[in-house]
Amino acid sequence: MGKTGKKAVLKQLRKALKEKRAQELQEGKEVEPEVAEVKEDEVVPNVLVLHPSSRAWLQNLPEVLSGQLVLQDRSSCLSALAAGLTPGTTVVDSCAAPGSKTSHAIDLLEGSGRMFAFEKDPKRASSLLERLRLLTGFQEVALHTRTKKSKANRASRASAALARGRCLPVGSKPGVEVELRTMDFLKVDPRAAPWNEVEVLLIDPSCSGSGLPEHHLTAAATGADTENDGRLRRLAAFQKRILSHALQFPKARTVVYSTCSLHRVENEDVVEAALPSSRFQVVQALPWWHNAPKEEHGHGSTLPSWASHCLRSQPDVHRCRGFFLCRLDRTAPEPEEPAQNAAPRKRRVGTWN
């Protein structure tokens, strides 16, 4: 959205919220003035800050229904920004539903590039598809296979690829190519086409949700969700698998790992377990983001030296949900593997073109 369009939407939004507040005051309800206020975020680009109580007013605004405005927590805007996306990049979003993060990444590609969005649950995948249509102007094309394959393989591809097409063009750019896959990201072979061309991966796996406001209420009532909780250990094991898998994509230059958890076992410990077997290092995610002092959610051992590069949001400090984000950049290229089924090497003249 250009500056002119942004100003127009901001003006319309302020007007709509003032009218909503006036209406509720006439009905005898007490509504503080700040509930109708709209501000531009001080550090996160293209984000407007509104009072949490205004959410009910926003649901049916024309700008929201048309996709001009996206209702999204401040922290969930950070993953795509931290990835350093540029036009023409090939991206994987490994856990894409509900779709706000995916659509934000598509927006940052500025009309050129490719996005593979994974969601293995068919219901959530359908919701993701609808959200992409609304927020990015995604239009599908007919699915087809380019090469002759067995019936079983064709059926497998058809079920895996729920939708394929393009988003709206941006200026002279044709629009980002998008493929929505209803399959488990862990089943993908990183060295097979088209995955061996992927450059950036967004990894936002299932987690305990300990950074969510509703989680604190449940945990306080039940005493659940300690670092020794079996569920946390199972989640951390899955998180290590998916991050390690992402680090195996041969042309990946950046992998962004994030959770809405405050627990070290799901955050720094996962990254620490995946790093040694990779050719990646942790780099500063977003230089303009300032972390709150780290609270130790876990064992008391010293954090790795690279932990200061990771991003953490605290609800009481950053006015958003608790969130962890780590950017990993490649330090060395993957070694090339010999072609499969290659004949034994012989010294001959004239066999190579």
Which one of the listed residues 77, 167, 260, 326 is annotated catalytic? 260
Reference 191, options 144, 255, 245; nearest CA is 245
For the purposes of burial, counting CB atoms within 10 Å of the CB of 347, is it exposed (0-12), middle (13-18) or buried (19 or more)? exposed
**CB contact at 8 A, 274 and 203:** no
316 is in an annotated binding site: no
229 is in an annotated binding site: no
339 is in an annotated binding site: no
310 is in an annotated binding site: no
79 is in an annotated binding site: no
Both tokens assigned to 348:
């001959």
Q: Is 77 a catalytic residue?
A: no
96 is in an annotated binding site: yes
**273 C-beta neighbours (distance < 10 Å), count:** 16
205 is in an annotated binding site: no
- Element at 67 (helix H, strand E): none
Peptide bond into 98 cis (omega under 30): yes
95 is in an annotated binding site: yes
* Dist. CA 322–CA 260, nearest whole Å: 6
Q: HEC string of 95-155?
A: CCCCCHHHHHHHHHCCCCCEEEEECCCHHHHHHHHHHHHHHHCCEECCCCCCCCCCHHHHH
Residues contributing to the annotated binding site for S-adenosyl-L-methionine:
95-101, 119, 184, 204
As annotated, the active-site residues are 260
